[in-house]
Amino acid sequence: MTVGGVAAASGDQEIIAWFEGVAENAGLVQRQTLRRIIELNHSTEYLQKWLGRDLRVQDLDPVALESLFTSSVPLATHADHEPYIQRIADGDTSPLLTQEPITMLSLRLVPIVPVTSYNGTLKYLVCYSPPNELHRLFPVRAGGRILEFIYSSKQFQTKGGLTVGTATTHYFASEEFKTRQQSTESFVCSPHEVIAGGDYNQSTYCHLLLGLAFCDQVDVIASTFAYSIVQAFTSFEELWEELCEDLREGTLGTKITSPKMRRAVMDCLTPNPSLASKIEKKCRELEESNWSNLIPKLWPNVKYIYSIMTGSMQPYLRQLRRYAGDSALVCADYGSTESWIGVNLEPSDPPETVTFTVIPSFSYFEFIPLYTRKEQDHSSSVVTDDFVEGEPLPLSQVKVGQQYEVVLTTFTGLYRYRLGDVVEVAGFYRGAPKLTFICRRKLILTVNIDKNTERDLQIVVEKGSSLLSQTRAELVDFTSHADLAVHPGHYVIYWEIRGKADDSVLNLCSREMDAAFTDHGYVVSRKTGSIGPLELRIVESGTFRRILDYCIGNGAALSQFKTPRCTTNQVLLRILDRCTVKIFWSTAYG
């Protein structure tokens, strides 16, 4: 099995048989997975608290064990696990959550143990093998390269000696990743020193430079999140002249200060005046067309672009498509720091409609039915946020068309853990549900009785920004804030736009967004005046880059960075307010 979809035939049949088997028998595999988790960890403090010290797992059949577990262990959030995780971080080596010692934590203090790497490897094998059609739909060449915009960030030690970092940083530091890099060295544009450079601006420059140096060999462009790809090519628009000069001379400018990165990149470069001149000519043409079709113009052999493109990444699709032209956008798989969940078996589907087939051996999954108040049925008993909840269901009992919150029980010591992701069941692959990601459940905008999620905000911004098509402008990025410092409180939405939009159009945008919030509490509050008019603030070019710089400087990793869609962070608000160049107030309810 090799990267980029070039599959080794000898292993395919075994993987196909395994995948088809677990999908066909998803309910049985789920009970076996739960049994294995409990067998490994039933002597831990957490499980003994709920299942008792005298539990004999071998005396219970899988159905009885599943019933005992779901009836005895309560649904939990991170706050319920946090006291145990903090003890582990401080050096407590007793079996608190897992029997196997935990040696790594994510930045959000989620435990990571070696079985996570196993699941990641299994996911990788499924994704690059049948029945996934990626390599059939987008065949790549033997020896073709991948231009990956990936970044490692700093790791640090807890009081008890555990290593803390982002999930991707742990992976990039792992032997598994290093083995992959060594075994597929001819496929990768950037050496490990660029990925682990520690300065995302320098790493991005080197990624781009080496991508240009090998431009005719690049078959795939990839990153963890779509944001990173958009950010890289936005930087390219500013850096292309310097990049061409370095390409011509076979050297690196003074902005690359990391000695290790410089040496590694210089080892890959040779002077190439003819290629530099060819790229310069294309870049001057691209400037005239607002950089549309940048990727196929400069990387003519790219078959597809691979990244997470759902959820909070969806707003970047418009910019990504401008760069990508006709190049295919392939949405990466569905996972979280806590667990991998599902894989994209239909890579030709557009990101907006992609589904993820749950792999029932990754974790034990439960699904909490979510209803609006109009949809509430007799099984619904709990009202939280903007949803009415039903009783959690096992994977085998979910229904097509129903929305659910995902609950995980993992090998890493999370038990009935509410992930906060809202998904909808779009269908089944054999017995395994196919999920559409809807949104994160957390409310982000509220003044009093109004309740709006990230997905609600995204829909509103999409409706408002669609009016920019009347102009030569497009939305670059956005965030929001519920301003409670004035009375009545109101929503503030910050936009960074590219190009020029008339004030009259921006006035219409603010009105359209205000009217597009359909939450009953918001509509009533606006009509009665208990929530004030929506405020649209236009910020200057580069504002969200400043936000990125601030977040990276305070420990965030570019490989996992997501623009906060709502913020109360006073530093970010000061950046946004200082950079505001125009303000528009809605008259939707005037």
Q: What is the pLDDT of residue 198?
A: 78
> Which strand (E) or helix (H) includes residue 444?
strand 443-445
Q: Are 410 and 403 in contact (CB under 8 A)?
A: no
CA-based R_g, the chain, Å: 25
Chain length of the chain: 590
Specify the pLDDT at position 280.
95
Alpha-carbon gap, residue 544 to 579, rounded angstroms: 10
3-class DSSP state for residue 331?
A: strand
Q: What is the pLDDT along the chain (590 residues), one digit of tens a residue?
A: 322 233 334 456 777 788 888 899 999 999 999 999 999 999 999 999 998 888 888 888 999 999 999 999 999 998 999 999 999 889 988 999 999 888 888 777 788 765 444 454 455 455 544 445 677 788 777 778 889 998 877 778 888 888 887 777 777 777 767 666 655 544 778 888 888 877 888 999 999 999 999 999 999 999 988 988 998 999 999 999 999 999 999 999 888 999 999 999 999 999 999 999 999 999 999 998 889 999 999 999 999 999 999 888 888 898 999 999 999 999 988 888 888 899 898 888 999 999 999 999 989 999 999 986 544 444 444 445 556 889 999 999 999 999 999 999 999 999 999 998 999 999 999 999 999 998 877 767 888 778 888 888 989 999 999 999 888 888 999 999 999 888 888 999 999 999 889 999 999 999 999 999 988 788 888 887 888 999 999 999 999 999 988 888 777 767 677 888 898 889 999 999 999 999 999 998 87
CB-CB neighbours of 128 under 10 Å: 19
- From residue 270, alpha-carbon distances to 214, 215, 282, 283 in Å are 11, 14, 21, 21
Distance of CA 380 to the CA centre of its chain: 31
Pick from 439, 411, 408, 438: which is nearest to 75 by CA?
408
d(CA 547, CA 229): 17
Summary count for the chain: helices (H), strands (E)? 21, 24
- What is residue 246's DSSP assignment? H
> Rounded to 5 degrees, what are φ and ψ at 364?
-95, 125
Return the half-sphere exposure (C-beta side, CA atoms, 13 A cut-off) of residue 512: 16
User: Which amino acid, 154?
Assistant: K
Task: Give the DSSP per-residue string, 39-62.
Answer: HHHTTSHHHHHHH-TT--GGGS-H
Q: Please list, in sequence order, all residues whose beta carbon lies within 8 angstroms of the beta carbon of residue 118, skipping any fewer than 6 positions away.
A: none
Q: Which residues contact 318 (CB under 8 A, 6 or more apart)?
A: 474, 475
Residue 442 in contact with residue 409, Cβ under 8 Å? no
Q: Residue 20: its pLDDT value, please?
A: 86
Residue 449 is encoded by which pair of tokens?
Answer: 């009785």
d(CA 183, CA 31): 36
145-149 β-sheet, strand order: 145-149, 218-225, 304-308, 328-331
Please spell the DSSP secondary structure of 410-434, one letter per residue.
-TTS--SEEEEEEEEEEEEETTEEE
C-alpha 50/C-alpha 37 separation (Å) is 15
Residue 392: count other Cβ atoms within 10 Å of its Cβ: 18
Annotated domain spans of the chain: 141-302, 443-585
Question: Cβ contacts of residue 212 below 8 Å, gap of 6+?
Answer: 243, 244, 247, 275, 279, 298
State residue 427's pLDDT score. Answer: 95
Contact 565, 480 (CB under 8 A): yes
Q: What are phi and psi of 369, to 5 degrees?
A: -65, 140
Q: Phi/psi class of residue 416: alpha, beta or left (left: φ > 0; alpha: ψ in -120 to 50)?
A: left
Nearest to 170, CA basis, from 112, 124, 212 = 112
405, two tokens: 């919150």
Query: 442: which 2 tokens?
Result: 């957390």
Find the distance separating the first CA and the last CA of the chain, reported in whole Å. 62
